[in-house]
Amino acid sequence: MKLNVRWSCLLCLVLIGIAIEGVQCKVVQFIFGDSLSDVGNNMYLSKSLAQANLPFYGIDFGNGLPNGRFTNGRTVADIIGDSTGLPRPPAFLDPSLTEDVILESGVNYASGGGGILNETGGYFIQRFSLWKQIELFRGTTELITNKLGKQATDKFIGEANFVVALGSNDFINNYLMPVYSDSWKYNDQTFVRYLMETLQNQLLLDFRGFFPKVLHNLGARKLMVFGLGPMGCIPLQRVLSTTGQCQERANKLAMSFNKAASQLLANLDSRLPNASFKFGDAYDVVDNVIRNPNNYGFDNADSPCCSFGRIRPALTCLPASTLCSDRSKYVFWDEYHPSDSANQLIANELIKKFGFLAGGNSSAPVPAPESAIAPSPDEE
């Protein structure tokens, strides 16, 4: 009888081990970001003014209906995940999200209008800041722990890929707008420093111990932070300038952010045992595409494919908007966001920067990449 009990106990331990290993083998993504990564969260924020819930958003994705992505097709995170064989995580607010879905696909917390700072994007009324997204992730870990137990959950979270892709709204929809107090409380240098201090507190417990519920403490061990592109060259910034050219101050702020974030992540990576915290940006490539679009297969790099005729800026794409004749030839989809074709190029560069493919950081992007989307019929 004692022998049978021992064998029964041993069998139980083996089965538990197999269950934990099964969870460990499934690698998913947890994505934190803004409208460049949002896959539908803002569609469920009924008071949010940052929306991609009307045609022609999503026209080149799935059934062609709006799905919450602020572009005509895929996001950069979509493309990177597809290229690395990871499932696309659903929006946190998707009603179909369950514990089983999380274990299979992860979660996307990104929200249009969100920023590193809580005050960013306030005039959008509803949006998830990075602090809020981390709070939602904490709830996710508690949900999974209730289902799997702490040991299995720690393994699952520890094997997951974390993507943090925010920052542009902190400039465009905060610091560079005089209606926000940050615009007069800081100068360019001190505002970037303020962003880095906040970002460090969000990624890692700071030396004072004030922030125990941040990503590293919640189990994140494989984390990537995406840098900013030349945000002074988005169509909205051009049309608001007096010359129609890129706003160089905004571009310099993006470069300052990237330099500071790169140093921050390198420092964190060196301090954290058994963790990989990496930074990558595609600033130089996107800047070159904007200045030499024909070299990369684009015809237009200064205006949106989806626009409201001659009325500029049209802050969103609407059913009454006019579409360009070939969406694959435009760098920008609307006044703010890149097109699917541009996102493909950005993703390719980040894949190299993060070392997902052979060639690492040394390989230059190939001009005129083949578009994943066939040219659209003339809809003008």
Count: domains in the chain: 1
Q: Do 116 and 195 touch, CB atoms closer than 8 A?
A: yes
Angle at 238 between CA 233 and CA 240, to 5 degrees: 135
> Coil, helix or strand for 76?
helix
> Coil, helix or strand for 247?
coil
Give dist(CA 345, CA 76) in Å, integer. Answer: 9
Does residue 244 belong to any structural domain of this protein? no
Q: What is the pLDDT of residue 285?
A: 96
Check 34, 182, 281, 334 and give the catalytic one: 334
> Coil, helix or strand for 241?
coil
Q: What is the pLDDT of residue 310?
A: 76
Q: Which position has the token pair 């969406």? A: 327
Does residue 299 belong to any structural domain of this protein? no
What is the domain extent for residue 285? 25-228+254-292
Does residue 120 belong to any structural domain of this protein? yes
CATH of the domain at 61: 3.40.50
Q: What is the pLDDT of residue 21?
A: 47
Cβ-Cβ contacts under 8 Å for 355 (sequence gap 6 or more): 361
Does residue 334 belong to any structural domain of this protein? no
- Reply yes or no on whether 281 is catalytic: no
Does residue 349 belong to any structural domain of this protein? no
Q: What is the pLDDT of residue 205?
A: 58
> Coil, helix or strand for 144?
helix
Residue 286 tokens, joined: 């996107």
Give dist(CA 50, CA 91) in Å, integer. Answer: 15
Q: What is the pLDDT of residue 366?
A: 35
Give dist(CA 80, CA 41) in Å, integer. Answer: 20
Does residue 357 belong to any structural domain of this protein? no
- Reply yes or no on whether 60 is catalytic: no
- Reply yes or no on whether 337 is catalytic: yes
Check 34, 35, 78, 307 and give the catalytic one: 35
Cβ-Cβ contacts under 8 Å for 118 (sequence gap 6 or more): 129, 131, 132
Does residue 105 belong to any structural domain of this protein? yes
Residue 338's Cα: distance from chain center in Å?
Answer: 13
Q: Do 139 and 107 touch, CB atoms closer than 8 A?
A: no
Give dist(CA 166, CA 38) in Å, integer. Answer: 11
Could you tell me the maximum CA-CA distance found in the chain, to the nearest angstrom? 89
Check 105, 168, 328, 337 and give the catalytic one: 337
Give dist(CA 205, CA 224) in Å, integer. Answer: 17
Give dist(CA 364, CA 369) in Å, integer. Answer: 12
Within the chain, which residues score under 70 in pLDDT?
1-25, 205-213, 357-380
Residue 117 tokens, joined: 């700072």
Give dist(CA 306, CA 57) in Å, integer. Answer: 9
Q: What is the pLDDT of residue 213?
A: 59
Give dist(CA 188, CA 255) in Å, integer. Answer: 12
Does residue 288 belong to any structural domain of this protein? yes
